[in-house]
C-alpha cells in the first residue's frame, strides 16, 4: 500500500514535471529586448517680420503716372524678413488693408488713387526689381482695380491683394507701394460735358461784380458758368500680410 502510494506519487510527480518541462521549453521562451539606441529630433523655428516705412503726403494734387512715380515721400515699404531654422515652405499674401476707411466719402477714393507696386529680393542675393500687378516703371493702376483680389494663403484677406508668394529659408523681400492721386479722372471730365453741373446762371468773370451792366462796364465777361470740381480729401491704407505653412504633397 505504502509502496504503491510512493510509486503513484512518484509517477504523478514525474508526469507533472515532464508536462511542466514540455510546457516550459516553449512557454518559457519569452524575450524582452530593449533597444539602446536613442532616436531623437529637436525642433527648429520660423520667424517672419515686416519692417515698415509709412508716408504722410499732405496737400498733394492730382497728377499723371510719370509725375506720381517721380514724386517723393509717397512710397510705403515693407521689408519682409524670414528666418528659418529647419525647412518649411511658407505661403503668404500681402495686401492693402483698411483702404480709405477713415474718409470714404470724400473726393479722394480708391477710384482716383493710383499705386505702383514692386518687390525686390535683397537677401540671400540681391535680385532684380519686379513690378507687380499690371504696374511698370511708368504706369500705375487704380486701387479700385484690385478690390476683388483675394488672398491665396490667408482667406481672411478678401481684397486688395498685391502679391502671393512662397518663401523658404532665410530671405529678405522689399515691397514698395508708391501712391498718388491721379488726374486722369479730372482730365477725362470735360467742362462742357452734360454731366458737369451748371455752376451759376448770370455770373461775372470778376466775382466782385454781381450784375451784367457793372460787369460789362468793367470789361468783364457776363454769362453762364459751368464748373468741374475735383474734391479734395484723404486716402489712407495699411499693409497686411497673412502667412501660413504650405504642406507639400508629392
Partner 1 sequence: MFEEEPKENHRASFTILGIFVLLLTVVGVAIAAYTWTYTSNNANSISTGNISMSLLESTDTISIENALPMSDDKGKQLKNNGTFDFAVTTEASGQPGDINYKLSITEDNADSDYTLLNKEQVKVYLTVLTNNEDAENEVLETQVVKPTKVSDIITENSDNETGVLTFDEGQTQHLTHHHNKIGETITTKYRLRMWISDDVDASNWNESTKYQYKLKINASGSIDPIQ
Partner 2 sequence: MSDGNKEKKSGKLTFIILGIVILILAMGGVALATYTWNYTSKNPNNISTGSISLSLLESTDTISIENALPMSDDKGKVSGEKFDFAVTTEASGNPGDIKYKLSITEVDELDEGYTKLDKSNVKIYLTVLEDDQENGTTETEVVAPTKVDSIITEENGEGTLTFTKEEYLKHTHNEVNKEITTKYRLRMWIADDTDASNWDDSNQKNQYKLKIGASGTIAPIS
Query: Torsions phi, psi of 47, nearest 5?
Result: -125, 135
Asked if 187 is part of the footprint of partner 2 (rule: CB under 8 A), the reply reads: yes
Q: Which does 159 bind (CB under 5 to 8 A by kind): partner 2, partner 1, none?
A: none
> Residue 79 CB: number of other CB atoms within 10 A?
17
The single residue among 47, 128, 192, 219 that binds partner 1, judged by CB under 8 A, is 47
Q: Which does 224 bind (CB under 5 to 8 A by kind): partner 2, partner 1, none?
A: partner 2
Q: Which does 194 bind (CB under 5 to 8 A by kind): partner 1, partner 2, none?
A: none
Give the residue with the Cβ less far from partner 1, 17 or 191: 17
Q: Are strands 161-168 and 141-142 parallel, antiparallel or unpaired?
A: unpaired
Asked if 31 is part of the footprint of partner 1 (rule: CB under 8 A), the reply reads: yes
> Judged by CB under 8 A, which stretch of 40-48, 68-76, 101-109, 223-231 contacts partner 1?
40-48
Asked if 27 is part of the footprint of partner 1 (rule: CB under 8 A), the reply reads: yes
Asked if 169 is part of the footprint of partner 2 (rule: CB under 8 A), the reply reads: no
Q: What span, in angstroms and rounded, lies between the C-alpha atoms of 78 and 96?
A: 12
- Shortest CA distance to 47 belongs to which of 226, 243, 225? 243
Cell 476707411 -> residue: 101
Asked if 87 is part of the footprint of partner 1 (rule: CB under 8 A), the reply reads: yes
Q: Kindly write out the interface string for residues 220-249 of this chain, putting x where it contacts partner 2 by CB under 8 A and - elsewhere.
A: xxxxxxxxxxxxxxxxxxxxxxxxxx-x--
Contact in structure between 90 and 243 (CB atoms under 8 Å) = yes
SS3 132: coil
Asked if 191 is part of the footprint of partner 2 (rule: CB under 8 A), the reply reads: yes
Give the residue with the Cβ less far from partner 2, 30 or 219: 219
Distances (CA, A) of 216 to 199, 201, 208, 219, 224: 20, 16, 12, 5, 14
Q: What span, in angstroms and rounded, lies between the C-alpha atoms of 224 and 212?
A: 11
- Shortest CA distance to 240 belongs to which of 141, 157, 148? 157
Q: What span, in angstroms and rounded, lies between the C-alpha atoms of 26 and 98?
A: 77
Please work out the total of residues on this chain that contact partner 2, with binding judged by CB under 8 A.
77
Give the residue with the Cβ less far from partner 2, 12 or 224: 224
Which one-letter DSSP state was computed for residue 110? T
Asked if 83 is part of the footprint of partner 2 (rule: CB under 8 A), the reply reads: no
Q: Are strands 75-85 and 171-181 parallel, antiparallel or unpaired?
A: antiparallel
The single residue among 73, 194, 219, 250 that binds partner 1, judged by CB under 8 A, is 250
Give the residue with the Cβ less far from partner 1, 37 or 126: 37
List of residues contacting partner 1 (CB under 8 A) = 3-4, 6-7, 10-11, 13-14, 17-18, 20-21, 24-47, 84-88, 245, 247-250
Amino acid at each position: 500500500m505504502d509502496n504503491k502510494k510512493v510509486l503513484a506519487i512518484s509517477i504523478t510527480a514525474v508526469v507533472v514535471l515532464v508536462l511542466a518541462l514540455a510546457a516550459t521549453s516553449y512557454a518559457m521562451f519569452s524575450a524582452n529586448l530593449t533597444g539602446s539606441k536613442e532616436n531623437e529630433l529637436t525642433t527648429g523655428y520660423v520667424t517672419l517680420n515686416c519692417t515698415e516705412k509709412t508716408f504722410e503726403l499732405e496737400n498733394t494734387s492730382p497728377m499723371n503716372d510719370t509725375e506720381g512715380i517721380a514724386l517723393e515721400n509717397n512710397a510705403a515699404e515693407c521689408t519682409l524678413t524670414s528666418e528659418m531654422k529647419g525647412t518649411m515652405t511658407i505661403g503668404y499674401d500681402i495686401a492693402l488693408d483698411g483702404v480709405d476707411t477713415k474718409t470714404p466719402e470724400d473726393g479722394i477714393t480708391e477710384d482716383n488713387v493710383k499705386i505702383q507696386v514692386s518687390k525686390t529680393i535683397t537677401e540671400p542675393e540681391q535680385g532684380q526689381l519686379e513690378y507687380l500687378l499690371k504696374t511698370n516703371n511708368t504706369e500705375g493702376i487704380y486701387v479700385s482695380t484690385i478690390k476683388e483680389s483675394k488672398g491665396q494663403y490667408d482667406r481672411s484677406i478678401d481684397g486688395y491683394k498685391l502679391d502671393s508668394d512662397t518663401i523658404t529659408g532665410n530671405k529678405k523681400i522689399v515691397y514698395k507701394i508708391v501712391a498718388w492721386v491721379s488726374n486722369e479722372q479730372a482730365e477725362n471730365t470735360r467742362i462742357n460735358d452734360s454731366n458737369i453741373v451748371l455752376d451759376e446762371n448770370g455770373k461775372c468773370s470778376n466775382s466782385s461784380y454781381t450784375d451784367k451792366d457793372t460787369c460789362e462796364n468793367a470789361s468783364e465777361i457776363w454769362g453762364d458758368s459751368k464748373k468741374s470740381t475735383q474734391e479734395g480729401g484723404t486716402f489712407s491704407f495699411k499693409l497686411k500680410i497673412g502667412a501660413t505653412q504650405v504642406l507639400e504633397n508629392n
